[in-house]
Amino acid sequence: MTLVSKRIIEKRGWMYEDVKDKKIKSVAEKCDGSIISFVKFQNGKVRAKSKMSFISEQAQGAQKIYDNDKRVRSLISTMLSDGINPVFEFVGMSNQIVLEYGEDELILLQGRKNDGLYVSYELLKSYADIWGLKTAKVFDMSILENVASNYTEAEARTKIKDRKFQGLQEMVDFLSK
């Protein structure tokens, strides 16, 4: 199998043709950080992992948070024990891409069950709330559809220009004016 055909097979199910008729319930905000998950090894050790590496700067930064924050360790341990892989966004000064953040932190983006299904935002938030941790902001599609119905893509780009937003809510508020 060639690399090209392998990539096509890997993406099957996520192409526009595959998803165009699916109903989107909500959109979770992914800001300006790096996606991090955690892997529990047979010896019980839990390690942070970026998309491709356990040793990337982002994985090491997330591991530092895990090692030093009992709340994060408790959340991850509980979710993994419940058969849910928590997926985070690692943001902060040491991982600044464009947006400015204060201290480094992990924001819970989603949870994926061992069977591949995603957990509801409500369940995800209930896990995070137990330990006082942040979840990604979630937007109802009606809010986004309302803003999108007022502008073409070109009009929105013209209005926004080169302005940078600290998040989707700030952009929605700006475009709603």
Going along the chain from its start, the domains and CATH numbers come out as: 26-139 (3.30.470.30), 141-176 (no CATH)
Least confident of 2-11, 77-86, 127-136, 152-161: 2-11
- Contacts of 84 by beta carbon, 8 Å cutoff, 6+ apart: 111, 112, 113, 114, 119, 127
| Digit-coded pLDDT (tens) for 45-95 | 999 999 889 999 999 999 999 999 999 999 999 999 999 999 999 988 777
Q: How far, in Å, CA of 95 to CA of 103, rounded?
A: 10
Q: How far, in Å, CA of 101 to CA of 148, rounded?
A: 28
| Digit-coded pLDDT (tens) for 87-118 | 999 988 777 776 777 788 999 999 999 898 88
Put simply, whether the predicted model's pTM sits higher than 0.85 gets the answer no
**Residue 167 — very low, low, confident or very high, per pLDDT cuts 50/70/90?**
low
Contact 57, 67 (CB under 8 A): no
Question: Facing residues of 81 across strands?
Answer: none
